[in-house]
Amino acid sequence: MGTGFLTIQEVSHCFFSAQEASLVLSDIDLEVQEGEFISFLGPSGCGKTTLLSIISGILTPLQGKVLLAGKPPSRDIGYMLQQDYLFPWKTIEENIMTGLRITNTYDAATRSNALHLLSQVGLEGTESLYPRQLSGGMRQRAALVRTLAANPKLLLLDEPFSALDYQTKLKLEELVFSLLQEFGKTSVLVTHDIEEAIAMSDRIVLLRAKPGRIAKVVHVPEEIRRLSPFAARRHPAFTALFQSVWKELEQLEQS
């Protein structure tokens, strides 16, 4: 039994086709502490999304197990993806309340918290609008509210900023970071963006491909971690860390 809030224990996974079995993840072992922010970085196809699916409980690994607060993953997990997946025929408020109903957390208090959260992310006044009436960044903020309103124990973020323009992406990173700090959420991010991983994370897990394995865990130094993502990018230690992670990734892609 692991010591972390999130325990990933000797996880391996294969996908089977009619012709072959392909080993996608091999012996993934990781302990994530409560309140920690972890990123997975690695070459395309190394199994990052598969690993998130296993952590969320959507996919059962061929071997090994995942525990969240000592139990198998359940509905206590929030998932944010590149696409917002808001229902186009529902208003923003209806979308968010549907999120609460699906997770069985709808009551007067969670409803009121959700509306408060909506104004915290700058979307007050959008309650009766439909997703098509909002910009991409606004829709992702609404999706963030829908995810956080259910008060998940763990937040899984699969490239949630990658479809946004640079400025919107930086603003949303800033917003997510401050909300996660406020609520002390444990989070796992999949990204291809080294800057984003350094700016948001406590630790970065570098994965190698074929099969996906942990190559290295990089601890982001305290002087960067205590800054917001925007300020972190301007810290002198940021560039050196960026270069070293870049080099590690290049070696992983060649190996």
Ligand X SMILES: Nc1ncnc2c1ncn2[C@@H]1O[C@H](COP(=O)(O)OP(=O)(O)OP(=O)(O)O)[C@@H](O)[C@H]1O
**Which residues here bind ligand X, judged by CB under 6 A?**
15, 24, 44-50
- Give dist(CA 129, CA 181) in Å, integer: 29
Looking at beta carbons only, is 48 or 139 nearer to ligand X? 48
Cα Rg for the chain, rounded, in angstroms?
18
Helices (H) and strands (E) in the chain, counts: 9, 9
Q: Supply the minimum distance, in Å, between the C-beta of residue 63 and ligand X.
A: 16
Compute φ and ψ for 7, nearest 5 degrees: -115, 125
| 197 close to 39: Cβ distance less than 8 angstroms | yes
Say if residue 174 is exposed, middle or buried (CB neighbours under 10 Å; 0-12, 13-18, 19+). middle
Q: Supply the minimum distance, in Å, between the C-beta of residue 26 and ligand X.
A: 12
Q: Supply the minimum distance, in Å, between the C-beta of residue 110 and ligand X.
A: 32
Looking at beta carbons only, is 19 or 104 nearer to ligand X? 19
Q: Supply the minimum distance, in Å, between the C-beta of residue 161 and ligand X.
A: 14
| 146 close to 95: Cβ distance less than 8 angstroms | yes
Looking at beta carbons only, is 48 or 141 nearer to ligand X? 48
> Which ranges in 184-235 belong to alpha helices (H)?
194-200, 222-225, 229-232
Looking at beta carbons only, is 47 or 137 nearer to ligand X? 47
Say if residue 224 is exposed, middle or buried (CB neighbours under 10 Å; 0-12, 13-18, 19+). buried
State CA 4 to chain mean position distance.
18
Looking at beta carbons only, is 43 or 99 nearer to ligand X? 43
Q: Supply the minimum distance, in Å, between the C-beta of residue 29 and ligand X.
A: 18
Looking at beta carbons only, is 83 or 98 nearer to ligand X? 83
User: Whose structure tokens read 């640079």?
Assistant: 166
- Give dist(CA 181, CA 120) in Å, integer: 14
Looking at beta carbons only, is 41 or 97 nearer to ligand X? 41
Q: Supply the minimum distance, in Å, between the C-beta of residue 104 and ligand X.
A: 28
Q: Supply the minimum distance, in Å, between the C-beta of residue 51 and ligand X.
A: 7
- Give dist(CA 106, CA 100) in Å, integer: 5
